[in-house]
Amino acid sequence: MNNSPFRPTAQELMPTLTPQQELVLLARALWREGYNDHLAGHITINRGDGTLWCNPWLLHWEELRPEHVIVIDLDGKVLEGDWPAPLGIPLHLELHRARPDVAVVVHSHPLYATVWADICQVPPAMDQSSALGGGGEVVLVDEYGGAVHERGNAAAAVEQFGDAELGLLAGHGVLVLGSTVRAAHQRAVALEQRCQRAWHARAITEGPLVSALAGPVLDFFRGSDANGFIGFWEAAVRTELRADPTLLDG
């Protein structure tokens, strides 16, 4: 047990989780944060052998359980599990092909980020929490030929996304990458908060949005290491386990 009253360890804040459990908790936590566009959205975790853990098609993120998680290959074929792969999974497949080092990929249509994507604008980070763990610049992907369930369109979107870790897909939604589930969670929450705060700021101001964050301060929060921010992810996990105490059973 950690004797310090100020620095509990991650293990003391929540139980050790399998990758399938992490994926489910990430999905549920992000649903609570606004990543709740019905059946839309995909999360993949790289298994390191050319296969991916993935949430299945036909289930809301809020009802996902560890036994529902499927394993797919980079052609989208289901190797393990009883559910079909999501329709839009080619976006993830093309990204994992292009960037095999990427561990976690999240795609969905949260309200505020999608509104900014609809008007093809990337809003500024208006406050510290909106920039925290941001992983650098948010890119706008606005040149692709249609729905990303088509491999060619998915590949074009991934090519324009480049080596970014956060992106808005014009007329579509968001793409968030992380080296861990913890990092992906923090970045996804910060991105939607960024878009929400900017939307509210635009509602009460005239002219272009100007963030109070600038220079070294913005760089510090935007470049902060989400993997070192102990507590943020753990608190989200505890919230979901309080809401469904049986979630990790079985």
The pLDDT tens digits of the residues spanning 141-154 come to 987 677 777 888 89
pLDDT at 227 over 70: no
Residue of 136, 109, 88 lying closest to 195 (CA atoms)? 109
Distance from C-alpha of 109 to C-alpha of 103, rounded to nearest angstrom: 21
CA distances from residue 27 to 61, 122, 158 in whole angstroms, order as listed: 5, 24, 22
Average pLDDT over residues 94-118: 97
pLDDT tens-digit profile of 151-202?
888 999 999 999 999 999 999 999 999 999 999 999 999 999 999 999 999 9
Residue of 196, 135, 146 lying closest to 172 (CA atoms)? 146
pLDDT at 49 over 80: yes
pLDDT of residue 226: 57
DSSP state of 83: S
The pair of structure tokens assigned to 72 is: 């797919």
Hey, what long-range contacts does 236-241 have (CB within 8 A, 24 or more apart)?
A: 236/25, 236/29, 236/32, 236/185, 237/14, 237/17, 237/25, 237/29, 238/13, 238/14, 239/29, 239/32, 240/25, 240/28, 240/29, 240/32, 241/14, 241/25
Q: Which residues pair with 70 in a beta bridge?
A: 54
**Domains identified in the chain and CATH numbers:** 15-232 (3.40.225.10)
Residue of 124, 125, 119 lying closest to 170 (CA atoms)? 119
